[in-house]
Amino acid sequence: MQLRRWIRAACAIMAVGAINLTVAGRATADVQPGDTITKENMDKADNLLIPTIKWYVEHGMPIKVIPYRKVELPRLYKAIKRPPRSMRPR
């Protein structure tokens, strides 16, 4: 049961992230922050959703649209600078 909740939460986060990335990169649709995308009104955001997210919405997962916000990567995932030439292996 706990795993099912975690998977559902992860899917919701991915869906919201996919919508945010898609909205930032494409033309806007009829959805605004605060709207909820469901089966009934999926046609408003049809051009914003990738096929996987469309499948989730068609099978009952609602998506709440949130305003855009930049997500900073943790320091661990940022580009690592190369060591000085004197420290590189030969």
How many domains, the chain? 1
Q: Is residue 82 part of a domain?
A: no
Please give the residue range of the domain that contains residue 62: 2-77
Q: Is residue 41 part of a domain?
A: yes
Amino acid 5: pLDDT: 74
Q: Is residue 49 part of a domain?
A: yes
Task: Give 8's contacts (C-beta < 8 A, 6+ positions apart).
Answer: 61
| Predicted confidence pLDDT, tens digits, the chain (90 residues) | 577 777 777 666 766 666 665 555 555 568 889 999 999 998 888 888 899 999 999 999 999 999 988 988 777 666 666 666 777 676
Q: Is residue 24 part of a domain?
A: yes
C-alpha–C-alpha distance, residues 27 and 24, integer Å: 8
DSSP labels, 8-23: HHHHHHHHHHHHHHHH
Backbone angles phi, psi at 48, to 5 degrees: -95, -15
Please, what is the Cα angle at 73 between 70 and 62, to 5 degrees? 55
Q: Is residue 85 part of a domain?
A: no
Amino acid 52: pLDDT: 93
Q: Is residue 90 part of a domain?
A: no
Q: Is residue 68 part of a domain?
A: yes
Q: Which residue has the tokens 């975690």?
A: 6
Where does the chain have alpha helices with state H?
2-25, 51-58
